[in-house]
Amino acid sequence: MPDALLKRLMHIRGLEGVRRGKKYKTTIPDDAAARPADLVDRKFTATRPNQLWVADLTYVRTWAGRCCMALVIDVYSRFIVGWALATHLKTELALGSS
């Protein structure tokens, strides 16, 4: 049975799968914190390479535990321009991916 079909049928019946392992809280929002300016006005399109790069943070589960991966991606080509992997989510991780 395809995953999408199973997911849809479970959703219709109000069922939810059991999640294994520890659930991590990755974001603790601070409404009082200053927000950086949106330099691209939420328009993530590019007409040529190296015109717009975006960053992404994701978590990767490994046998040794959870790791954080920081990526810098060229919007036009979807090429990964830089990346870094660490066991922490500190400023050095994001800066190391550029």
Q: 37-41, 86-90, 93-97: which has the highest mean pLDDT?
A: 37-41
Res 29: pLDDT:
78
Task: Report residue 13's pLDDT band, with 50, 70 and 90 as the boundaries.
Answer: very high
Domains in the chain: boundaries: 49-98
Query: Pseudo-torsion of CA 43, 73, 49, 95, nearest 10°?
Result: 100
Task: Report residue 72's pLDDT band, with 50, 70 and 90 as the boundaries.
Answer: very high
Helix, strand, coil percent values for the chain (each to nearest 5)? 15, 30, 55
Write down the mean pLDDT value for the chain. Answer: 87
Segment 56-78 mean pLDDT: 91
Segment 36-62 mean pLDDT: 91
Q: Is the pLDDT reported for residue 98 higher than 70?
A: no
pTM score, whole prediction: 0.65
